[in-house]
Chain A
């Protein structure tokens, strides 16, 4: 099956620094990737939709200047949390939609990245 990886799996940073999280589709091309945030004991909340070669579409309430998304290739999307603060601490999960199978809506999820901001 389709595999999505994320790097790093865990990151701890100081308040005010920026953190970059990578999401890769390992064995398929993804025209669309999604970034989610999940707080403890809560559901996944979609942050943004990332399309290869174009600007990301952010959900209401998500600051685009704080959460920078780049989808430079069909297998890589990055999320940069800029000037991170403790309230940004969360579990960030990406998913990818496989290219070419437009009739297929299945998203494949990455293993997540645990961000802790001190």
Chain B
């Protein structure tokens, strides 16, 4: 079936360095992608989104890149801070307003 997956389950990054979290998706018809941050015991928090007619979108300290050719999505966090430690999920819009979530990547920021 269709799925969204991540390459790395855990990513450890030194404080101040940049983080890159990757996501692969399989549904070529998906046209909307979202990155969420989830801290322990809390609901997902919207970070940034991108539509399929774009290949890059920037927010505050975050950038999402979309490569439709290889069905790959990435989230870049600049100058990673301890508060960025969380699990990050990519989600794919299947076209029926339902989101398909990836397995998640835990980001650990090392002091």
Chain A: residues with CB nearer than 8 A to chain B? 4, 6, 32, 34, 42-46, 49, 91, 93, 95, 97, 105-112, 114
Residue numbers in A under 8 Å from B44 (CB-CB): 44, 93, 109
Give the dominant DSSP class at B's interface: strand
Q: Give Cα A46–Cα B100 distance, bound, in whole angstroms.
A: 8
Q: What are the residues of chain B within 8 A of A46 when measuring CB–CB?
A: 98-100
On chain B, the number of residues with a Cβ less than 8 Å from chain A's Cβ atoms is 20
Query: Is B61 part of the contact surface with A, judged by Cβ < 8 Å?
Result: no
CA distance A91 to B87 in the complex (A): 15
* B43 close to A111 (CB less than 8 A): yes
CB<8 Å pairs between A and B, sample of 27: A6-B43, A32-B97, A34-B98, A42-B104, A43-B89, A43-B101, A43-B104, A45-B101, A46-B98, A46-B99, A49-B98, A91-B41, A93-B43, A93-B44, A95-B99, A105-B32, A105-B97, A106-B34, A106-B46, A107-B99, A109-B44, A110-B43, A111-B42, A111-B43, A112-B41, A112-B43, A114-B41
